[in-house]
Amino acid sequence: MFFWNWILDLFSYFGFKKNAKLLIIGLDNAGKSTFLDRLADSRLAQNPPTWQTRSKQLDLGRLRFTAYDLGGHPTVRRVWKDYFPAVDGIIFMVDSADSKRFEEAKTELDSVLTCDVLPDVPVAVLFNKIDRKEAVDEDLLTAQLNLHTSKTGKEYTPREKVGRRPVETFPVSLVKLMGYGEAMRWLAYYIE
Ligand SMILES: Nc1nc2c(ncn2[C@@H]2O[C@H](COP(=O)(O)OP(=O)(O)OP(=O)(O)O)[C@@H](O)[C@H]2O)c(=O)[nH]1
Ligand SMILES: [Mg+2]
């Protein structure tokens, strides 16, 4: 382990980074495309609904993330699992202000977490749009999505101690630039 870390340090010292594939999924209108834009710069653009996969690259510590925004309309949800075998981490976005769709979000998230072609990669569940007054707080939404028993903690617990897929929720506002840095650092910890 020490030797491997040393090699990685040496690689990043000379500018080589480990590539990591990150999938951004979730229901339509959750904020996935906005998130992808936020990763690259801080301007807030409006995106039309996504029908074709978009991707962007960003560096975080020793990792070079390629993040894929897959679109969330029911017809494009079917392609999510085609990407699963090759991913290193998942961001599942939920609109925390749209309580009418929590049940639908739960169904999709459950099928992701139980999908047999998804390797044991970390899953960060982003509760987006917490700037909106209708937004439901983290604890309540965690209960609505039945995630209390799946969550493994925001602190960086070594993978061996976690003993299963790391899963955690993060309250986020892409408009107010809040919360997503923490989610990305948490993912990077479990991917490195
Ligand atoms: N208030 C608020 N609105 C947000 C936030 N993030 C995204 N939105 C808005 O939510 C709407 C949908 O955002 P998109 O990023 O296009 O959603 P998407 O998940 O890519 O949707 P599909 O491509 O249809 O799957 C847009 O009007 C965004 O401006 C946020 O943090 N707060
Ligand atoms: Mg989109």
Q: What are the residue boundaries of the structural domains of the chain, listed by start?
A: 17-191
Ligand of minimum distance to the alpha carbon of 135: 1
List the chain residues with pLDDT less than 50: 1
Q: Which CATH number fits domain 17-191: 3.40.50.300, 3.40.80.10, 3.30.70.270, 3.40.50.620?
A: 3.40.50.300
Whole-number Å distance, alpha carbon 42 to ligand 1 midpoint, is 14
From the CB of residue 157, how many other CB atoms can be counted at a distance below 10 Å? Answer: 14
pLDDT at 30: 98
Model confidence pLDDT, tens digit, residues 13-32: 555 678 899 999 999 999 99
Choice from 38, 77, 133, 174 to test ligand 1 binding pocket (greatest atom count within 8 A of CB): 174
Query: 98-124 as b/e, with b when 16 or more CB fall inside 10 Å?
Result: beebbeebbebbeebbeeeebeebbbb
* Torsional sign, CA 64, 79, 52, 29: negative
Residue nearest to atom 15 of ligand 1 (CA): 31
